[in-house]
Chain A
Amino acid sequence: MAQEKTYIEDIERTLYDIKNVDKSKYKSQSGLTEDIIRDISARKNDPEWMLEFRLKSLEVYNQLSLPNWGPDLSELNMDEIVTYVQPDAKMTGSWDEVPEDIKDTFDRLGIPEAEQTSLAGVGAQYDSEVVYHSIQEDLVKQGVIYTDMETALHEHEEIVRDHFMKLVPPKDHKFAALHGAVWSGGSFVYVPEGVHVEIPLQSYFRLNAAGAGQFEHTLIIVEKNASLHFIEGCSAPKYNVTNLHAGCVELFVNDGARLRYSTIENWSRNMMNLNTKRAVVGKDGVIEWVSGSFGSHVSMLYPCSVLKGENAKCEFTGVTFASKGQNLDTGASVIHCAPHTSANISTRTISKAGGKATYRSAVKVTKNAPYAKCSVNCESLMLDDISRSDTLPTMDIEGDEADIGHEATIGRISDEAIFYLMSRGISEDEARSMIVRGFVEPIAKELPLEYAVEMNNLVNIELEGTMG
């Protein structure tokens, strides 16, 4: 008798798939030309150096090839992508001033409610521009800056100029160059020395327009001995045309500082998510990444931590769930550049219904990093035999004082574990449910509450038949 498989539902997407009528105020022409870049720059009132930066990035973009590794990106046709969509809304600090349809979108996503209950500041981007930004007054008094990138570019121009795309230079790869050319929106956070932002800040990025790209830039500077928890969320309704997300996140964690960067990525299944995230960490500093990848058609996302100062630390916790039609290529990289740096990478991947989940990582220990320690753990769960799960880690270690360990496992739900739980009086359905919940629990416990609830939707298990 054929064995039936455990069936795990996809994430309930109705909430994310509600489309608004496209009421954009302005859309650039599709494609990527110098005229389009100049037009975007003029509309955003960029300083001259930023226009030059954009144009140089375009040159780099045209010189670079698509990566010869990772998922197939041939479906992406830049000639069909609209790189700038200006919503018919001005940036405001009051939800009452946000147009009704846009406000309704963020209401459904629970952003204003979360702002009231559990956040110290919120940024909301709709298509290419930020439409809402707020921060608690007491943080402003302590010198914390949390605003959209365009405002930061004008009001804190020197800081932005000193940091913008310094960690992720346009030459890094083709989509970093694309980002440098057409970036729009995103958040800027500055936490002064010694200030601890006790309640998280959250930026939410919503792409509504069909066939458009979103290229937000997030720049966070946490000064010495300061701390911050920043949450990033993103979603889009599904269209029959390809959408593109090529954001860039640059995090500067100075000596003794701590930054937790949490992301739940839930893009629609027509999205190419080619995002770049990188952090540099100073002496005794800590970067913590919590990363959930659930949406998109294709993802390439590998947050990188450069441990530059002595005793700098990185913690990476990630979960990826690839279902039908999805090719999610995710992972992390860590570069140890100083003595006594340490990193701990822990990931879980699940694949089902023909989905492809790839875990890719790199651990690089330079000669300047004696006594570096790094532990990598990757576990993959496959729920059927039409899906794929691949693990591709690389370790590159120089010197004789590093202590590096890597472990990975792959498999399905163990029959023995099911039998054991059933022998303790637990039903088969519940046993399976417990096992899958246990599998993602190390990640779920690191998530903010509202996202942990979303994670629980992930493990909403339905069982059909016997042991799978």
Chain B
Amino acid sequence: MNKEIFSEIPMRTWNWLGVNEATVDKDLLVESQKLDIDIEADHHEKMVVEYRKESYGIVNISIGENASLKLTQLQLMPEERNHANEVNIVLEKKARLQLVAVETGAKSFASKVNIILKGDKSQADVSVLYFGDGDRSLDMNYVLDFQGRKTVGNLEVYGGLMGESQKIFRGTLDFKQGSKQAKGYEKENVVVLSKGVRNRSVPIMLSGEDDVVGNHAVSSGKINEDKLHYLMSRGLSPAEARKLVLEAAFNPVLELIEDEVLRQEIDSYIKERLENE
């Protein structure tokens, strides 16, 4: 199979960990759905991008001064298909971005997101939900590049893994020299539901500037037993209790999806998979 490097982490680590780069089939990248968008200064937009059949999608966005964008990107590919997607966003002075990314489809997918906080006081809030089951492969690489002063970047990631799924999540906060008083925060919470899962996390923090505050945290574990017992003591079956706990874990992202129909679709999709487990 012809493979091509699709994305790389900004700073390499031990090769034996297998996280330095993501490779995808070359064929996958032949046809792409491409979107180039400029949000003009002082404009405020909302956008929803859905991937249901496209093998490769690219979204390039620039957000002008004082402008804002809420971008909801849903990857709902059929489970037998492979997929790759790419998002590149540049924020000018005081621009705001809210990115809600849901990665629940495809047999194997790779996504890369590069957000450049170029303008002073620009801010990006990124919320990611991923869910893997069966023998699916999930590969994500998110980079928040802090260049302007007083920039703010938050990356919150919620994941669920079951079956024999394999996932790599790479999240980088990169504070460039000059990004004075920037603040960055990254959090990944992973709930693991099956013994066959392989879960890899690479939370990177790079800094060439002292006057910044950066924090990252990752937690990975099974569903909290106490919560399950409590719910089961209230009459729920073990499967129902697990569903409820997972739904609660995903809620911080799901509630950001404004379209009720889409939200229900994702919710049902995850429930169905949990029931089939």
Q: Tell me the A residues contacting B by CB distance below 8 Å.
A: 68-70, 333, 360, 362, 364, 367, 370, 380, 382-412
Main secondary structure on A side of the interface with B? strand
Q: Is the CB of B221 within 8 A of A409?
A: no
A-B CB contact pairs (8 Å), 8 listed:
A70-B12, A387-B208, A388-B208, A396-B200, A404-B218, A407-B216, A408-B215, A412-B211
- Taking CB atoms and an 8 Å cut-off, the chain B residues in 201-254 that contact chain A are 201-222
- Taking CB atoms and an 8 Å cut-off, the chain B residues in 155-173 that contact chain A are none
CB distance from B222 to the nearest CB of A (A): 5
How many angstroms between the C-alpha atoms of A409 and B220 in the bound complex? 19
CB distance from B175 to the nearest CB of A (A): 8
Q: Is the CB of B211 within 8 A of A405?
A: no
Since A69-B20, A393-B203, A403-B221 are in contact, a sample of 9 more A-B pairs with Cβ atoms closer than 8 Å, ordered by chain A residue number, is A370-B195, A389-B207, A396-B200, A399-B192, A400-B195, A402-B192, A403-B220, A406-B201, A412-B211
Q: Is the CB of B218 within 8 A of A405?
A: yes
| Residue in A69, A402, A411 whose beta carbon sits within 8 Å of that of B213 in the complex | A411
How many angstroms between the C-alpha atoms of A404 and B208 in the bound complex? 29
- Taking CB atoms and an 8 Å cut-off, the chain B residues in 28-63 that contact chain A are none
Q: Is the CB of A404 within 8 A of B204?
A: no
CB distance from B90 to the nearest CB of A (A): 23
| Residue in B20, B210, B216, B218 whose beta carbon sits within 8 Å of that of A387 in the complex | B210
| Residue in A68, A393, A408 whose beta carbon sits within 8 Å of that of B202 in the complex | A393
Q: Is the CB of B207 within 8 A of A394?
A: no
Q: Is the CB of A395 within 8 A of B222?
A: no
How many angstroms between the C-alpha atoms of A263 and B163 in the bound complex? 43
**B114 within 8 A of partner (CB):** no
Which residues from chain A contact B211 at a C-beta distance below 8 Å?
385, 412
Q: Is the CB of A400 within 8 A of B201?
A: no
Q: Contact size class for B?
A: 35 or more
Q: Is the CB of A396 within 8 A of B198?
A: yes
How many angstroms between the C-alpha atoms of A333 and B195 in the bound complex? 23
CB distance from A272 to the nearest CB of B (A): 19
Q: Is the CB of A385 within 8 A of B17?
A: no
In the complex formed, the residue of A with least CB distance to B169 is A395
Q: Is the CB of A400 within 8 A of B197?
A: yes
How many angstroms between the C-alpha atoms of A409 and B194 in the bound complex? 31
In the complex formed, the residue of B with least CB distance to A302 is B14
In the complex formed, the residue of A with least CB distance to B191 is A400
How many angstroms between the C-alpha atoms of A398 and B11 in the bound complex? 24
Q: Is the CB of B222 within 8 A of A401?
A: yes
Known: A69-B13, A362-B14. A399 touches B195 (CB 8 A): yes
Q: Is the CB of B209 within 8 A of A396?
A: no
**B77 within 8 A of partner (CB):** no
In the complex formed, the residue of A with least CB distance to B214 is A410
7 closest A-B pairs by CB: A382-B210, A69-B12, A410-B214, A412-B210, A391-B205, A406-B218, A400-B192
CB distance from A378 to the nearest CB of B (A): 9
How many angstroms between the C-alpha atoms of A409 and B214 in the bound complex? 5
Which residues from chain B contact A412 at a C-beta distance below 8 Å?
210-212
Q: Is the CB of A398 within 8 A of B198?
A: yes
Which residues from chain A contact B214 at a C-beta distance below 8 Å?
408-411
How many angstroms between the C-alpha atoms of A382 and B12 in the bound complex? 22
Q: Is the CB of B209 within 8 A of A385?
A: yes
CB distance from B273 to the nearest CB of A (A): 16
| Residue in B14, B15, B180, B220 whose beta carbon sits within 8 Å of that of A404 in the complex | B220
How many angstroms between the C-alpha atoms of A69 and B20 in the bound complex? 9
How many angstroms between the C-alpha atoms of A410 and B216 in the bound complex? 9
CB distance from B17 to the nearest CB of A (A): 5
**B23 within 8 A of partner (CB):** no
How many angstroms between the C-alpha atoms of A396 and B193 in the bound complex? 16
How many angstroms between the C-alpha atoms of A382 and B219 in the bound complex? 26
In the complex formed, the residue of B with least CB distance to A359 is B205
Which residues from chain B contact A400 at a C-beta distance below 8 Å?
192-195, 197, 222
Q: Is the CB of A69 within 8 A of B15?
A: yes
CB distance from B194 to the nearest CB of A (A): 6
Which residues from chain A contact B15 at a C-beta distance below 8 Å?
68-69
**B199 within 8 A of partner (CB):** yes
Which residues from chain A contact B209 at a C-beta distance below 8 Å?
382, 385
Which residues from chain B contact A364 at a C-beta distance below 8 Å?
17
Which residues from chain A contact B221 at a C-beta distance below 8 Å?
402-404
How many angstroms between the C-alpha atoms of A308 and B48 in the bound complex? 49
How many angstroms between the C-alpha atoms of A388 and B176 in the bound complex? 10
Which residues from chain A contact B98 at a C-beta distance below 8 Å?
none
CB distance from B28 to the nearest CB of A (A): 25
Q: Is the CB of B195 within 8 A of A367?
A: yes
Q: Is the CB of B222 within 8 A of A382?
A: no
In the complex formed, the residue of B with least CB distance to A373 is B221
How many angstroms between the C-alpha atoms of A398 and B209 in the bound complex? 36
CB distance from B221 to the nearest CB of A (A): 5
Which residues from chain A contact B12 at a C-beta distance below 8 Å?
68-70
Q: Is the CB of A390 within 8 A of B11?
A: yes
Which residues from chain B contact A411 at a C-beta distance below 8 Å?
210, 212-214
Q: Is the CB of A404 within 8 A of B216?
A: no
CB distance from B2 to the nearest CB of A (A): 22
| Residue in B194, B206, B210, B218 whose beta carbon sits within 8 Å of that of A395 in the complex | B218
Q: Is the CB of A395 within 8 A of B201?
A: yes
CB distance from A299 to the nearest CB of B (A): 16
How many angstroms between the C-alpha atoms of A386 and B215 in the bound complex? 20
Q: Is the CB of A360 within 8 A of B210?
A: no
Q: Is the CB of A407 within 8 A of B11?
A: no
**B177 within 8 A of partner (CB):** yes
Which residues from chain A contact B91 at a C-beta distance below 8 Å?
none
In the complex formed, the residue of A with least CB distance to B16 is A362
**B67 within 8 A of partner (CB):** no
| Residue in A399, A404, A408 whose beta carbon sits within 8 Å of that of B219 in the complex | A404
How many angstroms between the C-alpha atoms of A407 and B206 in the bound complex? 14
**B19 within 8 A of partner (CB):** yes
CB distance from A8 to the nearest CB of B (A): 12
Which residues from chain A contact B218 at a C-beta distance below 8 Å?
395, 404-406
Q: Is the CB of A382 within 8 A of B207?
A: yes
Which residues from chain B contact A389 at a C-beta distance below 8 Å?
207
In the complex formed, the residue of B with least CB distance to A376 is B218
Which residues from chain B contact A392 at a C-beta distance below 8 Å?
11, 13, 202, 204
CB distance from A181 to the nearest CB of B (A): 22
